[in-house]
Amino acid sequence: MPEQYDVVIVGGGIGGGALGTVLARVGKRVLVLEKTTEYRDRVRGEWIAPWGVVELKALGLYDTFIVAGAHHVSRHISYADAVDPSVAEAAALPLAGLLPDIPGPLCIGHPKSCQLLHDTAVASGATVLRGVSDILTLAFGASPSVSYLHDGAEHTAMCKIIVGADGRGSIVRRMAGIELHRDPTHHLFSGMLVEGADGWPADTQVIGTEGDVHYLAFPQGNGRVRLYLGYSRDQPARLAGESGQQVFLDAFRLKSVPGSEHLANARPAGPCHSYPNEDTWTDEPYAEGVVLVGDAAGHNDPIIGQGLSITYRDVRTVRDVLLASDDWSPAAFAAYGEERRERMRRLRFSATLQSRLENEFGPDAEARRGRAFERRAQDPMLMLPALATMLGPERLPAAAFEESIMERTLA
């Protein structure tokens, strides 16, 4: 006999756990299906921008994260090989208060976030199944259903709508026939969590470029820092092999960053993985009987760290649609699709600008970074695409995302 639910969510990570929680809290019958039995370090998804913290608060999840040890950072410094460190530090951006009542970006480990949202969803009344070995069939349309394997047995769940929260390779998106657009890969990105970086200021995140790497550091508190490196796509084996972690750490012995030895001398606290950076997006992340959230609906280039904020906005918006009325047709999600399409376009612009500015190397690129630093200091309009990553893209004027801004910055 098929089981009956209001919503079946395929994917029990960040988006699935958050949506399962907020829907179950108001009495919706929710089933969350998750393939893994243990959340692992995905080497991304650990920094929530201030505008994403606003979304986390709107979902009623912020206090849960704080109690679990989530850590705010309150100062940002952009270093560069073409800029004297003292000049960069004089231009440090205070992050607390960029948005009302938001102490700054919020950092917490990805596996910890996933487990936290899983536990919260279960405590809120959602049915959450781990170790779902296969999604056998997905039926959309007027009578959605999901057939799946769990504990070696086949089950079928009937529902009013299926939510695809199953990440970049979304089976829900593919089976629903929703087209995914993709930009060419611009560069490669790698990350690693380190511990023992007690000499690094816990309130300060840094971004910059030196030599042939783009570097980022985001403290998580208690001497733990998530480090990232961006480098040319022509170096796919740069961090390969047993020495990869040490090669990664050695890249943080930076002349442009005072105190970077605290990062380079830290201990690995997780894997070191590399992955290509590009943007993907969908024009309409919904169809009859299905809606997509998070990476399943398309992801932003991780260079600007918007993934979690995008997902929490998606979850909040989809929740509001599902609670507004019993009309869960494609027409009900049209405004969500339109807002998300423009949101992703603007963030794609910001990421492209950041990639061209920070992840291109050599004397010409170094000189271009120096000129851009000076121009941004003289013309605040050129800073708006970067501010969009903190404040949210909808808070900036449309003119901030026009091609002329990119041309004036990089000329």
Q: Are residues 200 and 221 in the same domain?
A: yes
Q: How far is CA 314 from CA 45, 145, 278, 343, in A?
A: 15, 22, 20, 11
Q: Are residues 202 and 309 in the same domain?
A: no
**8 within a domain of the structure (yes/no):** yes
Residue 310 phi, psi (nearest 5): -60, -45
- State the pLDDT at residue 44: 79
Q: Are residues 150 and 297 in the same domain?
A: yes
Q: Which of 256, 277, 298 is the last residue of a domain?
A: 277
Q: Are residues 35 and 143 in the same domain?
A: yes
**407 within a domain of the structure (yes/no):** no
**Residue-wise pLDDT tens digits, 166-201:** 999 999 999 999 999 999 998 999 999 999 999 999
Residue 139 phi, psi (nearest 5): -110, 125
Q: Are 393 and 347 spatial neighbours (Cβ–Cβ below 8 Å)?
A: yes
Distance between CA 308 and CA 56 in Å, rounded?
10
**363 within a domain of the structure (yes/no):** no
CATH number of residue 213's parent domain? 3.30.9.30
Q: Are 390 and 51 spatial neighbours (Cβ–Cβ below 8 Å)?
A: yes
The number of domains in the chain is: 2
**386 within a domain of the structure (yes/no):** no
CATH number of residue 291's parent domain? 3.50.50.60
Q: Are residues 11 and 160 in the same domain?
A: yes
Q: What is the Cβ-side half-sphere exposure of residue 271, based on CA atoms within 13 angstroms? A: 12
**365 within a domain of the structure (yes/no):** no
Full residue range of the structural domain in which residue 175 is found:
3-62+109-182+280-343
- State the pLDDT at residue 140: 95
Q: Are residues 294 and 147 in the same domain?
A: yes
**Residue-wise pLDDT tens digits, 102-157:** 999 999 999 999 999 999 999 999 999 999 999 999 999 999 999 999 999 999 99
Q: Are residues 262 and 164 in the same domain?
A: no
Q: Are residues 226 and 335 in the same domain?
A: no
Q: Which of 323, 343, 363 is the last residue of a domain?
A: 343
Q: What residues does 216 pair with on adjacent strands?
A: 207, 228
- Sorted by sequence, the CB contacts under 8 Å of residue 341 that are 6+ apart come out as 281, 283
Distance between CA 152 and CA 39 in Å, rounded?
21
- Radius of gyration over alpha carbons of the chain, in Å? 21
Q: Are residues 119 and 241 in the same domain?
A: no
Instruction: Provide mean pLDDT across the span 248-265.
Output: 97
User: What is the value of pTM for the model shown?
Assistant: 0.96
Provide the terminal-to-terminal Cα distance of the chain, rounded to the nearest Å: 65
Structure token digits, residue 212: 């042939």
Distance between CA 252 and CA 395 in Å, rounded?
34
**% of the chain beyond a pLDDT of 70:** 100
Q: Are residues 270 and 285 in the same domain?
A: no
Q: Which of 259, 277, 295 is the last residue of a domain?
A: 277
Is residue 396 classed as helix, strand or coil in its secondary structure? coil
**308 within a domain of the structure (yes/no):** yes
**353 within a domain of the structure (yes/no):** no
Q: Are residues 56 and 155 in the same domain?
A: yes
- Sorted by sequence, the CB contacts under 8 Å of residue 393 that are 6+ apart come out as 342, 343, 346, 347, 350, 401
Q: Are residues 34 and 136 in the same domain?
A: yes
**Residue-wise pLDDT tens digits, 41-97:** 888 789 999 999 999 999 999 999 999 999 999 999 999 888 899 999 999 999 999
DSSP for 129-149, please give it: EE-EEEEEEEE-TTS-EEEEE
Q: Where are the beta strands (DSSP E) in 152-212?
A: 153-158, 161-164, 181-182, 187-195, 204-210
